[in-house]
């Protein structure tokens, strides 16, 4: 995805005016901790924690894998007035301050959620808004997820269709990110307050000029 983004940006610089590229920084971002028995919202932190904890319990010779999510970032963007055409590309980019993982690779999945929340909302409000994402996870619907497995510090997700699905009348769009791995892993994304936080990059698909 990063190679694709770089190629598109390079092509766009050659084929289109610089004003054709639109960057929309996140307007809201928090991360949620989802344990076995509790849910907490963290809105005053220096990072957006994206993490998965994987433990194995052995009882009477049987093994049971227990998975929890101590960090799942939730980000929101103001897209009022945005009119995405079929020829436009929208990419969500996030920068990781650090990545910690064991031997297994880690993937980050991204899903659309509701946008009736802000950074001061309580966990019950978030639970209502992330319900669409949980349904996607339960159905194991990969067509509704975007993913990034590059492993470097910049994560990029194609969200073009998600913005089109939101429609021209939508004024906000929100996403949930989830770490997926066979072992415990942790990614610390930079929040919007760092000025290197989550950002939507929107541009026309680059075309070639006969000249």
By the 8 A CB rule, do 156 and 66 touch?
no
Spatial separation of the C-alpha atoms in residues 173 and 77, rounded to whole Å: 5
- pLDDT per residue over 35-66, tens digit each? 655 678 998 889 999 999 988 887 767 778 88
- pLDDT tens digits for range 66-116: 888 899 999 999 999 888 888 899 999 999 999 998 888 888 989 899 999
- What gap in Å lies between CA 113 and CA 36, rounded to an integer? 21
The confidence score (pLDDT) of residue 62 equals 76
C-alpha dist (Å) from residue 203 to 16, 29, 141, 158, 199: 9, 23, 28, 12, 13
Tens of pLDDT, residue by residue over 148-193, are: 665 678 999 999 999 998 877 789 999 999 998 889 999 999 999 9
Question: What pTM, to 2 d.p., does this model score?
Answer: 0.83
Domain-wise residue ranges, the chain: 2-204
For the record, the structure tokens of 104 come out as 């297994």
Tokens for 79, please give them: 């897209």
Kindly state the tokens that stand for 205: 């698909």
């Amino acid at each position: 995805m990063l190679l694709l983004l770089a190629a598109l940006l390079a092509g766009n610089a050659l084929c289109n005016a610089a004003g054709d590229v639109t960057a929309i920084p996140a307007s809201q971002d928090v991360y949620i901790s989802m344990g076995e028995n509790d849910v907490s919202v963290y809105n005053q932190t220096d990072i957006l924690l994206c993490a998965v904890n994987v433990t194995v319990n052995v009882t009477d010779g049987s093994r049971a894998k227990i998975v929890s999510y101590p960090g799942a970032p939730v980000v929101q963007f103001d897209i009022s007035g945005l009119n995405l055409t079929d020829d436009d590309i929208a990419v969500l980019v996030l920068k990781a301050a650090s990545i910690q993982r064991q031997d297994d690779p880690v993937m980050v999945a991204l899903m659309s959620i509701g946008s009736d929340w802000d950074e001061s909302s309580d966990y019950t409000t978030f639970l209502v808004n992330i319900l669409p994402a949980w349904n996607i996870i339960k159905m194991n619907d990969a067509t509704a997820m975007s993913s990034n497995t590059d492993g470097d510090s910049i994560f990029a997700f194609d969200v073009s269709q998600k913005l089109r699905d939101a429609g021209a009348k939508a004024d906000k769009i929100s996403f949930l990110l989830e770490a997926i791995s066979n072992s415990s892993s942790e990614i610390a994304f930079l929040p919007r307050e760092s000025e290197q936080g989550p950002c939507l990059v929107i541009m026309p698909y680059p075309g070639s000029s006969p000249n």
